[in-house]
Amino acid sequence: MPPQQAVAALPARASSNLRLGLLVPAVAAVVALALLPVFTSGYVVYVANVLLVYVVLSLGLNLVIGEAGQFSLSHAAFYGIGIYAAALGNKLLGLPLVGCLLLAGVVAALLGGVIGTIALRMRDIYLALTTFAFGEAMQWLFLNWEPVTGGPNGLRIPPSSLFGVEILNDKQAYPVVLGVALLMLGATVVISRSRLGRAFRAVRESDVAAMAMGIPVRRVKIMAFLLSAFYAGVAGGLFATFSTYIHPESLGFQTTMTVLTMVVVGGLGSTGGALLGAVVFGLISELLRQAPAVQEMTYGLILILFMMFVPRGLAPAVSRWVRGRGHV
Amino acid sequence: MIEVENLTLRFGGLVAVNDLSLVVRPRTIHALIGPNGAGKSTTFNCISRLYRPTSGRIRVLGRDVSGLRPQDLAPLGVARTFQNLELFGGLSVLENVLIGAHVHCGGGLRERLAARPPAVIGHVEHLLERVGLAEFRHAQASALDFGRQKMLELARALAIRPRILLLDEPAAGLRNREIGALDRLLNELVERDGLTVLLVEHVMQLVMAISHRVTVMNFGARIAEGTPAEVRRDPLVVEAYLGQEAAHA
Ligand SMILES: Nc1ncnc2c1ncn2[C@@H]1O[C@H](COP(=O)(O)OP(=O)(O)O)[C@@H](O)[C@H]1O
Ligand SMILES: [Mg+2]
Distance CA A68, CA A65 (A): 6
Closest residue in chain A to residue B139, using alpha carbons only: A8
Could you give the strand order of the β-sheet that contains B2-11, starting from the edge strand earlier in sequence? B14-24, B2-11, B55-60, B63-64
Least Cα distance to B162 among B75, B50, B240, B228 occurs for B75
Angle at A248 between CA A299 and CA A53, to 5 degrees: 60
Query: B183 vs chain A: nearest CA distance in angstroms?
Result: 24
A9 band by pLDDT with thresholds 50, 70 and 90? very low
Residue A4 confidence (pLDDT): 41
- CB of B40 within 6 A of ligand 1: the answer is yes
- CB of B45 within 6 A of ligand 1: the answer is no
Distance CA B11, CA B4 (A): 19
Collect all residues from A whose CB is shorter than 8 A from any CB in B.
Answer: 4-5, 7-12, 190, 193-196, 198-199, 201-202, 204-206, 208-217, 269
pLDDT over 50 at B128, yes or no: yes
Question: Any chain A CB within 8 A of the CB of B156?
Answer: yes
Task: Please give the distance, rounded to the nearest whole angstrom, from the Cα atom of residue B173 to the centre of ligand 2.
Answer: 14
Task: Please give the distance, rounded to the nearest whole angstrom, from the Cα atom of residue A75 to the centre of ligand 2.
Answer: 42
Closest residue in chain B to residue A11, using alpha carbons only: B138
pLDDT over 60 at A123, yes or no: yes
- Average pLDDT of chain B? 91
For every residue of A65-82, DSSP letters joined together read IIIT------HHHHHHHH
First CA to last CA distance, chain A: 22
- CB of B228 within 6 A of ligand 1: the answer is no
- Cβ–Cβ contacts within 10 Å for residue B139, how many? 23
Residue A326 confidence (pLDDT): 52
Tell me the domain boundaries of chain B.
Answer: 1-77+162-249, 86-161
A16 band by pLDDT with thresholds 50, 70 and 90? low
- Residue B66 contacts by C-beta under 8 Å, 6 or more apart in sequence? B57, B58
* β-sheet bridge partners, residue B196: B164
Measured between CB atoms, which of A193, A195, A210 is closest to B106?
A195
Distance CA B138, CA A4 (A): 12
Question: Could you tell me if B26 and B83 are in contact, meaning their C-beta atoms sit under 8 angstroms apart?
Answer: no
Distance CA B3, CA B142 (A): 35
Identify the weakest region by mean pLDDT among A19-28, A83-92, B67-76: A19-28
Chain A partners of B89 at a C-beta cutoff of 8 Å?
205-206
Q: Which amino acid is at A174?
A: Y
What does the pLDDT look like over A145-187, one tens digit per residue?
888 888 888 888 877 777 767 776 777 888 899 999 999 999 9
Q: Which long-range contacts (CB under 8 A, 24 or more apart) does A92-95 make?
A: none
What does the pLDDT look like over A125-155, one tens digit per residue?
888 888 898 988 889 888 888 888 888 888 8
pLDDT over 70 at B112, yes or no: yes
What does the pLDDT look like over A103-121, one tens digit per residue?
999 999 999 999 999 888 8
pLDDT over 60 at A327, yes or no: no
- Ligand 1 atom closest to B168 (CA): 21
pLDDT over 60 at B247, yes or no: no
Question: Could you tell me if A48 and A36 are in contact, meaning their C-beta atoms sit under 8 angstroms apart?
Answer: yes
Distance CA A263, CA A278 (A): 7
- CB of B79 within 6 A of ligand 1: the answer is no
φ, ψ at A289 (rounded to 5°): -60, -25
- Choose one of B14, B45, B48, B217 to mutate for the ligand 1 pocket test, by most ligand atoms within 8 angstroms of C-beta: B14
Please return the burial class of B240, using the count of CB atoms within 10 Å of its CB with bins 0-12, 13-18 and 19+: buried
Least Cα distance to A227 among B88, A123, A235 occurs for A235
Residues A8-15: what's their mean pLDDT? 43
A304 band by pLDDT with thresholds 50, 70 and 90? confident
Higher pLDDT, B110 or A9: B110
* B200 torsion bin: left (phi>0), alpha (psi -120 to 50), beta (else): beta
What does the pLDDT look like over A63-93, one tens digit per residue?
999 999 998 899 999 999 999 999 998 888 8
Ligand that comes closest to the CA of residue B34:
1
B161 band by pLDDT with thresholds 50, 70 and 90? very high
Binary contact (A214, B88; C-beta < 8 A): no
Chain A partners of B114 at a C-beta cutoff of 8 Å?
193-195
Residue A6 confidence (pLDDT): 39
Question: Any chain A CB within 8 A of the CB of B90?
Answer: yes
Chain B partners of A319 at a C-beta cutoff of 8 Å?
none
Identify the weakest region by mean pLDDT among A103-117, A200-214, A222-236, A298-312: A298-312
- Residue A191 contacts by C-beta under 8 Å, 6 or more apart in sequence? A63, A197, A227
* β-sheet bridge partners, residue B24: B2
pLDDT over 90 at B169, yes or no: yes
- Residue B212 contacts by C-beta under 8 Å, 6 or more apart in sequence? B25, B28, B29, B30, B227
Q: How many cross-chain Cβ pairs, A to B, lie less than 8 Å apart?
A: 105
- Average pLDDT of chain A? 85
Q: Which long-range contacts (CB under 8 A, 24 or more apart) does B48-54 make?
A: B48/A212, B48/B73, B48/B78, B48/B80, B48/B166, B49/B73, B50/A208, B50/A211, B51/B9, B53/B7, B53/B8, B53/B9, B53/B17, B54/B8, B54/B9, B54/B10
Closest residue in chain B to residue A218, using alpha carbons only: B71
Supply the Cα-derived Rg of chain B in whole angstroms: 18
* Residue ranges in chain B assigned as alpha helix (H): 40-47, 73-76, 93-100, 109-113, 118-130, 146-158, 176-191, 204-210, 228-233, 235-248
Closest residue in chain A to residue B50, using alpha carbons only: A208
Measured between CB atoms, which of B102, B117, B136 is closest to A214?
B102
- Cβ–Cβ contacts within 10 Å for residue A169, how many? 14
Residue A17 confidence (pLDDT): 56
Distance CA B1, CA B134 (A): 32
pLDDT over 90 at B99, yes or no: yes
Distance CA B199, CA B7 (A): 18
pLDDT over 50 at B199, yes or no: yes
Distance CA A173, CA A179 (A): 10
pLDDT over 60 at A19, yes or no: yes
Kind and range of the H or E run holding B226: strand B221-226
pLDDT over 80 at B40, yes or no: yes
Closest residue in chain A to residue B78, using alpha carbons only: A212
Nearest CA to ligand 1 atom 26: B37
Residue A5 confidence (pLDDT): 40
Angle at A98 between CA A95 and CA A99, to 5 degrees: 40
Question: Any chain A CB within 8 A of the CB of B68?
Answer: no
CA distances from B87 to A300, B48, B49, B124, B160 (A): 34, 17, 19, 16, 15
Least Cα distance to A277 among A306, A315, A310 occurs for A315
For chain B, give the percent of residues with pLDDT over 70: 97
Q: Which amino acid is at A304?
A: I
Binary contact (A12, B137; C-beta < 8 A): yes
- Cβ–Cβ contacts within 10 Å for residue B85, how many? 18
Task: Please give the distance, rounded to the nearest whole angstrom, from the Cα atom of residue A215 to the centre of ligand 1.
Answer: 25
Residue B156 confidence (pLDDT): 97
pLDDT over 80 at B241, yes or no: no
- pTM for the whole structure: 0.90
Fold of B1-77+162-249: Rossmann fold (3.40.50)
Binary contact (B135, A196; C-beta < 8 A): no
Question: Could you tell me if A264 and A306 are in contact, meaning their C-beta atoms sit under 8 angstroms apart?
Answer: yes
Task: Please give the distance, rounded to the nearest whole angstrom, from the Cα atom of residue B83 to the centre of ligand 2.
Answer: 6
Supply the Cα-derived Rg of chain A in whole angstroms: 20
Residue A325 confidence (pLDDT): 60
Q: Is B24 helix (H, G, I), strand (E, B) or coil?
A: strand
Least Cα distance to B156 among B104, B218, B214 occurs for B104
Torsion from C-alpha of A48, A273, A237, A178, nearest 10 degrees:
-40
- Cβ–Cβ contacts within 10 Å for residue B43, how many? 29
Higher pLDDT, A325 or A116: A116
CA distances from A7 to A2, A10, A14, A201, B175 (A): 9, 5, 12, 23, 23
Residue A324 confidence (pLDDT): 67
